[in-house]
Copies of this chain bind each other. A is one copy, B any other.
Amino acid sequence: MGSPKQRIVETTFDLFSKQGYNSTGINQIIAEAGVAKASFYQHFKSKEDLCVEFLNVRHEYWFKELIDFSSQAEDLQNQLIKAFDFLIYMNEKEHFRGCSFLNILSEIPADNIKILSVIQSHKSDLRNYFLELLKDDALSDHIYMLFESSIIESQLFKSNELIEKSKQIVTNLIY
């Protein structure tokens, strides 16, 4: 079952992804991880600290999944479409819970720069992902923004409709 710290991290991953940050208490985490409260604080000095750890783990996980999902694409256009299909895949898998990073952005006070900077860093990496594919920062930011909207609007309407529309727009853009 792994060490207590591992169990905390895994449980946190599930619960923060599913319920969000504020709705998930330390009590629930330690209960489901089967760990004593003081053991939790041996490894994380605060809930905020745990949040940073979660975002880092989620960052690794999310990008790995994205790469895995879109890597076998034959050409650039196909790879971009696959990126949007990845969102559909994730929506199915995670029941339209949206982006953990943007959700937490909405949950924290605006002056929490510790967490904010981790979120910014994640999204900068995503922006760079599109930039490196397209070598054109006007175009890549355009697609990045459609990508971001796709996540949020599908979370909002519990539907992949606007992801599909984005795929159509992207197809037109890169020909």
Residues of A bordering B, CB below 8 Å: 19-20, 22-23, 95-98, 102-107, 109-110, 119-120, 123, 138, 141-142, 144-146, 148-150, 152-153, 155-157, 162, 165-166, 168-169
Contact = CB atoms under 8 A, between A and B. Distances in A.
Contacts of A103: 106
Q: How many copies does the complex hold?
A: 4
A168 B58 CA distance: 33
A141 B155 contact: no
Given A145-B150, A145-B166, 17 more contacts: A22-B22, A23-B109, A95-B110, A96-B110, A98-B105, A98-B106, A102-B152, A104-B106, A105-B156, A106-B107, A123-B156, A138-B165, A142-B165, A145-B165, A146-B146, A148-B152, A149-B149
